[in-house]
Structure 1
Amino acid sequence: MRYRLDVVAPTVLDAVRFAGGWVYDRVMAGWDVTVLVGSDEDVRPLEILGADTLDLEQVLASWEQRPHPQTVAVAADLFDLDDRVRRGVLGALEQGATEVTLWGTPRSSDLDSSVDSVEHRLSAAARAFKAQALAAAGAVTEPVGATETFCCGMSASVAADLVPAS
């Protein structure tokens, strides 16, 4: 069985901008990566990174029946604004079997003591593919950094690619 990462994003550009390098590196490490975004989005930038996509609203409607991934990555804005996303994240943290990773800064105090800052150092290939995905999403001039920073809600990552941010 392969590891699974589900990425919950408000837009394709948001997923690429904040987690695109990590998505690419996890795909190349053999993970099944699915990005959940709106059905009206052009998903080509995510295909460049090797990710599959599903309609966010359809998945949220049947979230409880969906098999739990080893890792779920969520935009903090969605955590703050969508009760279904917040319940799913908090439920995963309570169960303890799913690594919960967020990008951005959650405004909710629900996570204050349960998340730590971590970062992923992008491979050279991830930086190149992320740049191409950003260009395909219309963010041609956006620079690609060497790391992506997240808040992680599990004491030990299921993969060694997330390390404490200094």
Structure 2
Amino acid sequence: MITPTFGISDYLATDAHRGPRTDTKCLRYRLEVVATSAVDVVHAAGGWLYDRATAGWEVTVVLPSGGGTRPLQILGARTADLETGLTESRPGGQSLAVSAGAFAADDRVRERVLEALEHRSGEVALWGDEWPWGLNSAISPVRHVLSSAAQAFKRQALKAAGIPCGSVESVETLFCDTRWWG
């Protein structure tokens, strides 16, 4: 049997004209977080976001306009305005994290969560109280153990948000679509 071959120099020569990848072409995991405030995100999932960001994930937090973003920058997250963030096209395989407050406040957020759960297009993580009964069968509590660095950066982010804290819990609990994992 004859196997076709190629020269590595041919590949490098044709690939070189493309130039470096831009951020939009980079193959990175993406986490989109939707919440009502930066304080809500930092308090409930700040350590988890930090651990994702330092692992190379592109973390974007979508918030209503007018909120302070410094605590989220400390955690390594980018921010987007709610109106812009919800209308942008999103790549497949993206993870989604949503607060109960954001879910209750905006039909578009509810629609996005339900669509992601139905189609299993990516990981879905939720936090907060007051979730509708229909979601209970699709989600289960998952504990994330924070790295030491995540605890330190979360503490600084909480301080930047004006929330005094002596110590940060070493575990954050989110409600995740465990069907996606299995």
Of 107, 113, 132, 1:89 maps to: 113
Between the aligned partners of 2:174 and 2:113, the Cα distance in structure 1 is 14
Question: How far is the alpha carbon of 1:68 from its aligned partner?
Answer: 4.1
For structure 1, which runs of at least 5 residues remain unmatched after alignment?
159-166
Q: Aligned residue for 1:150? A: 174
Q: Aligned residue for 1:46? A: 72
Q: Aligned residue for 1:19? A: 45
Q: Aligned residue for 1:80? A: 104
Structure 2 vs 1, CA of residues 20 and 69 (structure 1 numbering), >3 Å: closer, same or farther?
farther
Encode CA deviations 1:104-149: one digit per residue, 9 max, x unaligned.
1243112021001101100000000000000000002364101100
Letter in 2 for 1:132: Q
Question: How far is the alpha carbon of 1:77 from its aligned partner?
Answer: 1.9
Q: Give percent identity, aligned residues only.
A: 50
Q: Is the 8 A contact 2:122 2:180 kept in 1?
A: no
For structure 2, which runs of at least 5 residues remain unmatched after alignment?
1-26
Task: Spell out the pairing of 1:42-121 with structure 2 (5 A cutoff).
Answer: 42-60=68-86, 62=87, 65-68=89-92, 70-121=94-145
Q: TM-score, normalised by structure 1?
A: 0.87
Q: Aligned residue for 2:165? A: 141
Between the aligned partners of 1:124 and 1:32, the Cα distance in structure 2 is 21
Between the aligned partners of 1:141 and 1:98, the Cα distance in structure 2 is 33
Between the aligned partners of 2:82 and 2:124, the Cα distance in structure 1 is 17
Letter in 2 for 1:29: A
Secondary structure in 1 matching 2:65: coil
Letter in 2 for 1:105: D
Q: Is the 8 A contact 2:120 2:180 kept in 1?
A: no
Structure 2 vs 1, CA of residues 97 and 154 (structure 1 numbering), >3 Å: closer, same or farther?
farther
Q: Which has the larger radius of gyration?
A: 2
Q: TM-score, normalised by structure 2?
A: 0.80
